[in-house]
Amino acid sequence: MKRYDLRHLKNDFYDKMVELIDKGIKVDEVGIFMFEVGDYSSIQKSADIIKETGHDLMNSLKFNEVDWTVVVKKVDAETAKKSAEAFAIVKKEADEKAALEAKELADKEAEKAKKLAEKEAKKEEV
C-alpha cells in the first residue's frame, strides 16, 4: 500500500494520480490518494477517471473538512482494458439517457410556453 498526497496540486491532480497508478503501484497493490476537494466536482471526476482507466475504486471518503481520499487497487492491463471498455459503454448510455431526458424536458417546457402564449393571446382578443 502506498499513500500519495496530491493536495499541493489543488484541482489539477488527475494526470498525476493516473501517472502514479500506472508507474508507482504494482498490480494488485493499493494506492491511497489525498486531494483537496474544492467545489466537490473533483470527487466525481476522480472516481470517473479511475473507472476510465479500468482500475478498482475501492473507497472514496472525506478525510477532513477540505480534503478527500480515494483508495485504488491497480489491476492487470487486460482487466483494466475490459473494465474501461465496460465503463465507457455504461457512461455513453447514461449520457444518451440524460440527453434524451433533457430534450423531453425542453419539449415540455416549450409546449407549456406555447399554451401560455395562446392563452394570453385569447385574453387579449376578448
How distant is the alpha carbon of residue 89 from its chain centre?
Answer: 14
Total domains, the chain: 1
Report which secondary-structure segment, H or E, holds 119.
helix 77-125
User: Residue-wise pLDDT tens for the chain (126 aa)?
Assistant: 999 999 999 989 999 999 999 999 999 999 999 999 888 889 999 999 999 999 999 999 998 988 999 999 999 999 999 999 999 999 999 999 999 999 999 999 999 999 999 988 888 876
How distant is the alpha carbon of residue 19 from its chain centre?
Answer: 18
| Spatial separation of the C-alpha atoms in residues 76 and 53, rounded to whole Å | 11
Range of the domain at 100: 2-125
